[in-house]
Structure 1
């Protein structure tokens, strides 16, 4: 099972890298076309906007599974103690609920966008599938937050280097 999870992770990371590469290439070509040839790429803003959303929301579950969200470690010594298990459980529940709420809101936006046929400005790309992808990403992140809160962050079995102490 864990091998499948890591293969999905690798595939997702590869797609994210390709999306980022596409954004860089598109932006480079658009700037060259705009500055040197006075011919910008039509719809480049729409494409970049959609690619950025895909990168961010494809990465959200990966960051959640890795337990790599931004944290403030000012009170770690206090909060990591056994007497603060209730605080960690409460935090897990709150994070899970917030991510689930965001997923639900994206589903609502996706349904509304589908109903009114919402599209991007220049290229007329339908927005509903993007909203549904964002909802799925947030739902997977909510599930991951719950699992990670209960069992701890997943460690990559292929990762051979240890974290350096600061």
Structure 2
């Protein structure tokens, strides 16, 4: 199981790095074309929009599995005590349910986009596949949130010094 988690994490991290590099290169080329040559890259906005969705939703399962979402630690002194474990499990399951709902809504939107042939404005890139990708990401995040509700953060770092890693 740990091997699969490590490979999934590496795959998502590689995807994020490649997509971010692509966004930087595209933006650089678009700015150079716009400022120096006077001709921007046609459809750069559409491409950037889709690449941004890839980055955000590739990172969502990673952040969820590592329990790194933004939190307010105002009541941590009370909530992190052993007798409040039930509260942490309950909130983790609520987060999982919200992610599952988001996955379902993105899936439905993907189905609708396919039926009406929804496309991007300039390049006419079909929107359905990106909605299905977002749905899958939210589904993985729901699974990660449900698992971490009971087990805590999923660490897959080879240099982990916790007792679980040894």
| Fold in common (TM above 0.5) | yes
Residue 88 of structure 1 corresponds to: 88
Are the equivalent residues in 1 in contact too, given 2:26–2:44 (CA < 8 A)?
A: yes
Residue 125 of structure 1 corresponds to: 125
Q: TM-score, with normalisation over the residues of structure 1?
A: 0.93
Residue 98 of structure 1 corresponds to: 98
Q: 1:36 deviation in Å?
A: 0.7
Please, what is the CA RMSD of the aligned residues?
1.4
How far, CA to CA, are the matches of 2:108 and 2:11 in structure 1?
A: 28
Q: 1:93 deviation in Å?
A: 1.8
Are the equivalent residues in 1 in contact too, given 2:43–2:122 (CA < 8 A)?
A: yes
Aligned 1:10-159 pairs, distance under 5 A = 10-159=10-159
Following TM superposition, the consecutive aligned residue runs of length 4 or more in structure 1 with deviations greater than 4 angstroms are none
Q: 1:92 deviation in Å?
A: 1.3
Over residues 71-94 of structure 1, what are the superposed CA-to-partner deviations in whole Å (9 max), with x where a residue is unaligned?
111211100112212211220121
Q: 1:161 deviation in Å?
A: 7.5
Q: Secondary structure at the match of 2:37?
A: coil
Tell me, which stretches of 5 or more residues in structure 1 are unaligned?
none
The number of residue pairs the alignment matches comes to 162
Are the equivalent residues in 1 in contact too, given 2:20–2:55 (CA < 8 A)?
A: yes
How far, CA to CA, are the matches of 2:71 and 2:26 in structure 1?
A: 34
Tell me, which stretches of 5 or more residues in structure 2 are unaligned?
none
